[in-house]
């Protein structure tokens, strides 16, 4: 066997490289993360808010690591705009939205209708709509209501459902899809 130390390699170093490769190549826990693996080691989310006029286009994951500054930017963007309050957005929700966006093969940004909601905002919306859950995952910063101009609600719903990574609600009359990182389930017409 060749002398590895002469070339700058050690047996321990090579084993470390192989171990790291095995971890990176290991199967992912959900389809959403698996779908994102095809994007290389970069995850990106693009959204705009019709309510605030703000736009977000950020890479939030590089080479197996979430970028804290990008997640902070996403959290602020997805705040309860009515009260201007924030809660750390669960990055799994962002992963699901990014995976569905990738499946839809569009360059258009999502329109964010609702991200994090305070209990007060949720109660106010619930009083005027049957479609707002009492214990909505929006209040835990684990959900997003999204729309795309270039894709139908049905197309978005199918893409998000294909991720098999959380809850997906189809709101055809209101023209949006709900995506969350809670238990896998679907609803809507």
Going along the chain from its start, the domains and CATH numbers come out as 28-188 (3.30.1380.10)
How far CA 80 is from CA of 58, 76, 88, 137, in Å, comes to 20, 9, 12, 13
CB neighbours (10 Å) of residue 173?
10
pTM: 0.78
Alpha carbon distance 3, 124 (integer Å):
72
Q: Model confidence over 101-138: pLDDT tens digits?
A: 999 999 999 999 999 999 999 999 888 887 787 889 99
Q: Model confidence over 153-177: pLDDT tens digits?
A: 999 999 999 999 999 999 999 999 9
């Amino acid at each position: 066997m060749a002398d590895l130390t002469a070339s700058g390699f050690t047996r321990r170093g090579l084993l470390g490289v192989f171990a790291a490769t095995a971890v990176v190549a290991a199967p992912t826990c959900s389809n959403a993360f698996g779908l994102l693996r095809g994007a290389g080691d970069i995850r990106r989310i693009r959204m705009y808010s019709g309510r605030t006029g703000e736009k977000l286009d950020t890479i939030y994951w590089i080479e197996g690591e979430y970028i804290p500054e990008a997640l902070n930017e996403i959290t602020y963007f997805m705040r309860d705009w009515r009260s201007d309050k924030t809660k750390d957005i669960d990055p799994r929700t962002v992963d699901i939205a990014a995976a569905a966006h990738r499946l839809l093969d569009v360059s258009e940004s999502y329109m964010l209708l609702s991200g994090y909601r305070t209990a007060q905002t949720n109660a106010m919306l619930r009083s005027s709509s049957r479609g707002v859950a009492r214990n909505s995952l929006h209040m835990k910063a684990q959900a997003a209501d999204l729309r795309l101009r270039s894709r139908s609600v049905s197309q978005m719903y199918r893409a998000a459902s294909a991720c098999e990574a959380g809850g997906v609600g189809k709101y055809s009359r209101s023209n949006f899809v709900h995506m969350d990182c809670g238990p896998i389930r679907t609803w809507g017409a």
